[in-house]
Copies of this chain bind each other. A is one copy, B any other.
Amino acid sequence: MSEEGLIKLLITTPQNFLLAEPLPLDCGRELKQVNIRYETVGTLTPEADNAVLITHALSGNAHVCGRYTENDPKPGWWDDMVGPGKAIDTDRYFVICSNVIGSCAGSTGPRSIDPDTGNPYNLTFPVITIRDMVRAQKRLVEFLGVRRLLSVIGGSMGGMQALEWAINFPDMVDSVVPIATTSQLSPQCIAFDWVGREAIKNDPRWNSGNYSADRVPEGGLSTARMLAHITYLSDESMSRKFGRELQDADSYSFDFQRDFAVESYLEHQGRRFVELFDANSYFYITRAMDYFDMARRSGGDLAKTFSAAKAAFLVVSFSSDWLFPTAESRKIVNALLKNRLNVSFCEIQSGYGHDAFLLEVDALGRMVRDFLRNRLEVRRG
């Protein structure tokens, strides 16, 4: 028997949950026949006290860990953190992860069929918010028989959802772990999102969102992704990973094809993204983040917004993350402390930039593992 044979593969299966009732949205409209794609791993205890909801980032999906088949070459997006014996231990916790509405990985989004017209929504899909995403998740959590989550854990946009959980459904969350995130999108981030969408708009294939499945705005979407990808890395990590290395030659080509390794890498990232993600979803998800501003709903007073929260918090940032820098996490921590909430905070030293939340598995994993164990102990008295 080969050594590989000793490793027990975690096989997961995507599920669908159709919301029984229309979903009211922040924009004033409502969504009918909303489907939520989700996966669960582990076993819910009879007391239903070990459920952990993991919320995903912009390009994420419900497939947080494990593989779909034995030969599946690629595991879920946070497989380093989630699974049997891992930091978010599926032998101990019942892990739920669902694709956000507005996305394109199984949940209802702009490319879904509008039941009123029989055609894809495209840009007639309502503009949604992070809170709307969380409202849909709440229905799923209830459907799964969980009245109180042990924790909601998410990085980047996932962290925004975790924060929304804490203030919108305070009695349903024992703890919240917002990682590499912010309480409001900065103007710099809004600007990057704007430019990314402009790049898509300029692609004639986009056609105001009414593209066909076999003729998607590849160029625009790939450009938007390449731009975003730069913001997920750091100057330091790019210098270490690529420097000014040339990709295929010893000297400059003196043309406009890719010369540098970093150009080649971006090109690859852009191309890969186009295969996985939808341009209209890119519009809706980035807009949801643009609109994310927890202080705004309390006239700019973030502490007041958090006065609704009851959960225990573990807030984590990364030193080289310039998209959602540590200062943003500190703002959250200060606002939570003003409400005398139970808050732990850690800035992890890392050169990986924003992507660190996917890469710094050791440091992050230790912290999350201990935090969850502690919360479960507290809960079980």
Contacts and interface: CB of A to CB of B under 8 A. Distances in A.
A202 interface: yes
Interface string A201-237: 1111000000000000001101100110010010100
Given A219-B201, A230-B188, A290 B123 contact: no
Interface string A249-269: 000101110111111001000
A238 interface: yes
Contacts of A256: 123, 127, 197, 283, 287
Interface in A107-165: 123, 126-127
A278 to B, nearest CB: 15
Contacts of A252: 27, 127, 291
A191 interface: yes
B127 A259 contact: no
A328 to B, nearest CB: 10
Range for the number of chain A residues in contact with chain B: 35 or more
A115 to B, nearest CB: 21
A273 interface: no
Given A254-B126, A256-B123, A296-B244, A198 B223 contact: yes
A343 interface: no
A235 B127 contact: no
A262 B198 contact: no
Contact of A244 (B123, B187, B258, B283): B187
A243 interface: yes
Interface of A: 26-28, 123, 126-127, 184-188, 190-192, 194-195, 197-199, 201-204, 219-220, 222-223, 226-227, 230, 233, 235, 238-239, 241-244, 252, 254-256, 258-263, 266, 270, 283, 287, 290-291, 293, 296, 322, 325
B223 A190 contact: no
A131 to B, nearest CB: 12
B243 A187 contact: yes
Contacts of A243: 187
Given A197-B256, A226-B195, A255-B127, A263 B190 contact: yes
Copies per complex of this chain: 2
B238 A223 contact: no
A252 B233 CA distance: 30
Contact of A235 (B188, B204, B263): B188
Given A194-B263, A202-B219, A296-B244, A186 B239 contact: yes
Contact of A226 (B198, B220, B233): B198
22 contacts: A127-B252, A127-B255, A127-B256, A186-B235, A186-B239, A186-B244, A187-B239, A187-B241, A187-B260, A187-B262, A188-B233, A188-B239, A190-B244, A191-B230, A191-B266, A195-B223, A198-B199, A198-B222, A198-B270, A202-B202, A204-B204, A256-B283
Contact of A230 (B195, B199, B233, B322): B195
A255 to B, nearest CB: 6
A268 to B, nearest CB: 12
B227 A195 contact: yes
A190 B227 contact: no
Nearest to A219: B202
Given A27-B254, A227-B227, A266 B235 contact: no
Given A184-B244, A191-B238, A198-B222, 10 more contacts: A127-B255, A187-B238, A187-B239, A187-B244, A191-B266, A198-B199, A198-B226, A199-B202, A202-B223, A322-B322
